[in-house]
C-alpha cells in the first residue's frame, strides 16, 4: 500500500483528490488543477511535498564525500547555501537530481526524489569508506513548499522582522512556534520557499504548520496545490523531472544541465564519461510548442524532416501561456528556435516548433 | 454524481441520447468529474463508420488523454465543433454537450446499455 504523509487526514477533510506517485498516496488536486496553477503564478500556493527524501551526511569528510557524488561543485559555496546537482553513475547517466544543503563542512542534508530515496540511500552508503555517517531521515521530515509572488509577504507576516534567506539560501527559524529550516527554493518557476519540519523536534505539529500557513495567506489568495499543478508549473519553467528528462539512460549533458556539471572539478563519479561526451553529444533536450491542435504527452514520437528522431519526455498544456508544448529528447544537436518539428499524436503528425526554454520565465529577486 | 433519466449509459462512462435514428454521445458527469479540467477534445470525422466499443474521440484533461469509446455502432453525422474552442463545456454541462452524433446502425445494441439507475449502481459497485 502507498504511504501517506502526516497531512493526509487534513487534506482528505479539505476534499483533496488523491493519486499514487512514487509509492505515495498524494493530493493531485484540491479544487481544480488550473485554478491551483494560476494561484501560484498570481498569488501563492502551498504544497505538501513530504514525500521528498532527506538524507543526512555527517562526519569529518562529509563535504569531500558528497562533492565526489555530485556533478556540481559544492566546495566554493558558503554555508547555508542550497546547491542543485545531478548525481551520476560512472557511465554519466543519472542516479537522481538532488539539492544539497550545505549546513557545514561536516553536515550536509541531501533532498532527493521520493521514488529514488531508497536507491539513493544505498548508492550513497555504498561509497562510504566509514569516515562518514549516512542517515536516511526521510520519515522524520515534513516538507511544505510555499510558492508564488505573495510567498514572501505571507512568510514575513509570520516571521516578523527576521531576514529571509536569498535565492537558493536557507536558514533555521522559528515559525508558528516550531523550529524549521526555511530555504528559498522551489519547483514552480516562482519565488518561494521550502519549509522543513523535523517531526522528532519538540513541538513539531505538521497540521498546525499547514493550517497556519493557509490562514496567514488567506487574504493574499493562497490555495493548497496538488501534484497536478506542481507538474504544469515545473514544466512551464522547464525544470527536469527524474524519470522523464533525467534517468539512468539520460546524462545531465543531454538534458542541457551543463551549468550543473563542473568538468573542471578534481574528480567525481561520472566525470570520465561526461568529459568524453562533452562536445560530442548525439542527442539533446529541446523545448517545443505545438502549432497544430493537440496535446503532446510523455512518450510521443518526434519527427524532424519526416524522420522519427526522438520522443517527448514531458508534455501538456501550458496554462499560463495558452499553448500546448513540452520537452523532447531529439537525436539532433543542431536545432534552433523556430525550427519546425512534428509530434506524432495518435498516429497523426502535428506541427510544432522549437522554442527557447524555459517556456515561462518570470523575473523575481534572485 | 449526476445522471439524467431517459439516457443510456456505458461501462466506460459514456451516455447516449436517442432522437429518432440518431444517437447523441457524450461523457457522463462522473467521467468529467474524475478527469478534472478538460483542455482538449478530439472529435471524429463526419462520415466515418464506427463500431461498438471503437474509439469515437479523445478527451484530454490537464494530466492525461482518455479515449471516448462509442457505446454503439453507427456512422458519424455530426461532430460537436464547439468543443474545439471550448472543451470546458463538458465540465460545465456534460449532458448538454455531446461529442458526436451517430446514425444508429443497430438499435438492439442500445438494449445492452444501462439506464440511469443501473449506471448509478454500477459506478457505486466500482468503489467510486
CATH of the domain at B87: 2.40.50.100
- Please give the average per-residue pLDDT across B22-40, as a whole number: 96
For residue B10, is pLDDT > 80? yes
- Which whole number is the average pLDDT over B35-42? 94
Averaged pLDDT of chain A: 97
Which residues of chain A lie closer than 8 angstroms to B36, CB-CB?
17, 29, 32-33, 228
Residue range A45-52: average pLDDT?
Answer: 98
Considering chain B, what is the average pLDDT of its residues?
96
For residue B117, tell me if it sits in a domain.
Answer: no
Residue A327: give the domain boundaries.
Answer: 238-355
Tell me, yes or no, whether B125 lies in a domain: no
Whichever domain contains A264, its CATH number is 2.40.30.110
The residues, ordered by sequence, that sit 6+ positions from A76 with a Cβ below 8 Å of its Cβ are: none
Look at residue A294 and tell me if it is in a domain. yes
Q: Does A28 touch chain B (CB under 8 A)?
A: yes
pLDDT at residue A113 tops 90 = yes
The verdict on B64 touching A (C-beta cutoff 8 Å) is yes
* A150 shares its domain with A231: yes
Mean local confidence (pLDDT), A93-105: 98
- How distant is the Cα of B37 from the closest Cα of chain A, in angstroms? 7
Give the full edge-to-edge strand order of the sheet including B14-19. B8-9, B14-19, B22-27, B100-104, B74-79, B49-50
Within-domain flag for A2: no
What's the whole-number mean pLDDT along residues B23-31?
A: 97
A250 and A325 fall within a common domain: yes
pLDDT of the residue at A162: 84
DSSP-derived letter for residue A24 is E
Q: Residue B2 falls within a domain, yes or no?
A: no
Domain hosting B41: range is: 8-107
Confidence check: pLDDT of B86 > 90: yes
Residue range A122-134: mean pLDDT, rounded: 96
| C-alpha to C-alpha distances, A305 to A2, A287, A308, nearest whole angstrom | 44, 17, 9
Q: Give me the percent of chain B exceeding a pLDDT of 70.
A: 99
Residue B54 lies in a domain: yes
Query: Are B24 and B16 spatial neighbours (Cβ–Cβ below 8 Å)?
Result: yes
Q: Do A232 and B62 touch (CB under 8 A)?
A: yes
Nearest to A228 among B60, B63, B84 (CB): B63
**pLDDT tens-digit profile of A279-306?**
999 999 999 999 999 999 999 999 999 9
Residue A219 lies in a domain: yes
CATH of the domain at A13: 3.30.1360.120
Same domain, A244 and A341: yes
Domain count, chain A: 3
Distance CA(A173)–CA(B102), nearest Å, equals 64
Q: What is the pLDDT of residue A22?
A: 87
SS (H, E, C) B65-124: EEEEECCCCEEEEEECCHHHHCCCHHHHCCCCCCCEEEEECCHHHHHHCECHHHHHHHHH
Residue A364 lies in a domain: no
Chain A, residues 203-232, CB within 8 A of chain B, namely 228, 231-232
pLDDT value of residue A110 = 98
**Residue B93 counted as domain residue:** yes
A323 at interface of B, judged by CB pairs closer than 8 A? no
Using the predicted structure, report yes or no on whether residue A185 has a pLDDT greater than 60.
yes
DSSP state for residue A101 in the 8-state scheme: E
pLDDT of the residue at B128: 55
Whether residue B127 is contained in a domain is answered as no
What is the average pLDDT across A264-280? 96
Residues A21 and A74 in one domain: no
Q: What is the dihedral of CA B46, B49, B55, B61, to 10 degrees?
A: 10
- CB-CB under 8 Å, A32 with B36: yes
Asked if residue B49 is part of any domain, the answer here is yes
Q: Look at chain B and report how many structural domains it folds into.
A: 1
**Residue found under cell 482518455:** B66
Residue with cell 546547491: A83
Q: For an interface test with A, give the residue of B38, B60, B61, B63 to mutate (most A CBs within 10 A).
A: B63
When pLDDT is cut at 50, 70 and 90, the band that residue A363 belongs to is confident
Confidence band (pLDDT; 50, 70, 90) for A140? very high
Look at residue B51 and tell me if it is in a domain.
yes
**Same domain, residue pair A132 and A152:** no
Of A235, A270, A289, the last residue of a domain is: A235
Exposed, middle or buried: residue A306 (CB in 10 Å: 0-12, 13-18, 19+)? exposed
Q: Would you call A322 an interface residue with chain B, using a CB distance cutoff of 8 Å? A: no
Q: In what order do the strands lie in the sheet with B55-61?
A: B38-42, B55-61, B65-69
ipTM comes to 0.88
Instruction: Give the pLDDT confidence of B59-85 residue by residue, as tens digits.
Output: 999 999 999 999 999 999 999 999 999
Per-residue pLDDT band at B124 (split at 50, 70, 90): very high
Residue B44's pLDDT is: 97
Amino acid at each position: 500500500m502507498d504511504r501517506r504523509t502526516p497531512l493526509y487526514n487534513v487534506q482528505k477533510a479539505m476534499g483533496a483528490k488523491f493519486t499514487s506517485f512514487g509509492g505515495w498516496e498524494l493530493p493531485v488536486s484540491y479544487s481544480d488543477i488550473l485554478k491551483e496553477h494560476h494561484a501560484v503564478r498570481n498569488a501563492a500556493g502551498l504544497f505538501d511535498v513530504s514525500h521528498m527524501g532527506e538524507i543526512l551526511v555527517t562526519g569529518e569528510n562529509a563535504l569531500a564525500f558528497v562533492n565526489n557524488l555530485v556533478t556540481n561543485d559544492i566546495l566554493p559555496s558558503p554555508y547555508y547555501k542550497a546547491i542543485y546537482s545531478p548525481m551520476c553513475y560512472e557511465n554519466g547517466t543519472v542516479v537522481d537530481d538532488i539539492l544539497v544543503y550545505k549546513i557545514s563542512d561536516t553536515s550536509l542534508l541531501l533532498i532527493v526524489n521520493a521514488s529514488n530515496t531508497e536507491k539513493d540511500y544505498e548508492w550513497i552508503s555504498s561509497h562510504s569508506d566509514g569516515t562518514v555517517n549516512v542517515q536516511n531521515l526521510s520519515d522524520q521530515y515534513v516538507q511544505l513548499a510555499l510558492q508564488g509572488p505573495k510567498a514572501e509577504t505571507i512568510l514575513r507576516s509570520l516571521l516578523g522582522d527576521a531576514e529571509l534567506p536569498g535565492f537558493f539560501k536557507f536558514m533555521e527559524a522559528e515559525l508558528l512556534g516550531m523550529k524549521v529550516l526555511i530555504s528559498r527554493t522551489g519547483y514552480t518557476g516562482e519565488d518561494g520557499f521550502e519549509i522543513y519540519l523535523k517531526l522528532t523536534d519538540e513541538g513539531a505539529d505538521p497540521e498546525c504548520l499547514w493550517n497556519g500557513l493557509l490562514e496567514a495567506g488567506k487574504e493574499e489568495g493562497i490555495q493548497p496545490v496538488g501534484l497536478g499543478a506542481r507538474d504544469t508549473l515545473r514544466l512551464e519553467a522547464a525544470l527536469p523531472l527524474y524519470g522523464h528528462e533525467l534517468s539512468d539512460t539520460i546524462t545531465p549533458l543531454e538534458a542541457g544541465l551543463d551549468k550543473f556539471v563542473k568538468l573542471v572539478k578534481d574528480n567525481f563519479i561520472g566525470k570520465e564519461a561526461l568529459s568524453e561526451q562533452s562536445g560530442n553529444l548525439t542527442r539533446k533536450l529541446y523545448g517545443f510548442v505545438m502549432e497544430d491542435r493537440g496535446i503532446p504527452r510523455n512518450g510521443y514520437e518526434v519527427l524532424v524532416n519526416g524522420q522519427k528522431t526522438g520522443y517527448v519526455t514531458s508534455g501538456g498544456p501550458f496554462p499560463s501561456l495558452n499553448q500546448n508544448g513540452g520537452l523532447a529528447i531529439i537525436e539532433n544537436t543542431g536545432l534552433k528556435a523556430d525550427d519546425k518539428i512534428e509530434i506524432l499524436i495518435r498516429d497523426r503528425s502535428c506541427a510544432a516548433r522549437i522554442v527557447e526554454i524555459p517556456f515561462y520565465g518570470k523575473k523575481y529577486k534572485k | 454524481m449526476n445522471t439524467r433519466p431517459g439516457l443510456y449509459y456505458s461501462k466506460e462512462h459514456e451516455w447516449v441520447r436517442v432522437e429518432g435514428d440518431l444517437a447523441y454521445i457524450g461523457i457522463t458527469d462522473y467521467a468529467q468529474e474524475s478527469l478534472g479540467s478538460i483542455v482538449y477534445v478530439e472529435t471524429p470525422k463526419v462520415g466515418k463508420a464506427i463500431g461498438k466499443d471503437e474509439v469515437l474521440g479523445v478527451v484530454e484533461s490537464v494530466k492525461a488523454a482518455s479515449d471516448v469509446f462509442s457505446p454503439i455502432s453507427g456512422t458519424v453525422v455530426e461532430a460537436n465543433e464547439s468543443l474545439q474552442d471550448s472543451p470546458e463545456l463538458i465540465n460545465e454541462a456534460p449532458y448538454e454537450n455531446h461529442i458526436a452524433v451517430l446514425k444508429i446502425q443497430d438499435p438492439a445494441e442500445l438494449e445492452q446499455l444501462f439506464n440511469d439507475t443501473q449506471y448509478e449502481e454500477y459506478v457505486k459497485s466500482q468503489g467510486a
